[in-house]
């Protein structure tokens, strides 16, 4: 199995992370469905949201993939979009969340 990727997240987000990660998998499935249809408008919308949410939750890799996916959609590059979706899948399968302890 591939090495785990550790992401440190603020303790205050503990209750939100499981839902966030589930939504990223949902986003991934929507992108994978949109690529063969060449539905670049949907891919761009999902990627834009992914970019913002990745930054907000402290998942810079998700934000980076979202940024690249948004650019792929803007240039109508289905090959790049598919590759980025596979990259996101690999990331989601490897990521391990560690919560920072708040100073007491």
Element holding 97 (H helix, E strand): strand 95-100
Is it the case that residue 1 has pLDDT exceeding 50? no
Q: How far is CA 17 from the centre of its chain?
A: 13
The per-residue pLDDT for range 9-57, each reduced to its tens digit, is 999 999 999 999 999 999 999 999 999 999 999 999 999 999 999 999 9
Q: What CATH number does the domain located at 5-100 have?
A: 1.20.120.160
**Across 66-83, average pLDDT:** 97
Structural domain boundaries of the chain?
5-100
Residue the block writes with tokens 């996916």: 69
User: pTM of the entire structure?
Assistant: 0.90
Is it the case that residue 3 has pLDDT exceeding 90? no
**Across 71-100, average pLDDT:** 96
């Amino acid at each position: 199995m591939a090495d785990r990727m550790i992401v440190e997240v603020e303790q205050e987000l503990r209750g939100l992370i499981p839902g966030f990660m589930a939504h990223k998998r949902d986003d991934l499935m929507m992108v994978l469905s949109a690529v063969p249809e060449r539905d670049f408008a949907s891919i761009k919308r999902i990627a834009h949201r992914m970019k913002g949410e990745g930054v907000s939750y402290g998942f810079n890799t998700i934000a980076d993939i979202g940024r690249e996916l948004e650019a792929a959609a803007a240039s109508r590059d289905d090959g790049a979009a598919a590759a980025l979706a596979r990259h996101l899948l690999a990331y989601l399968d490897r990521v391990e969340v560690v919560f920072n302890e708040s100073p007491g």
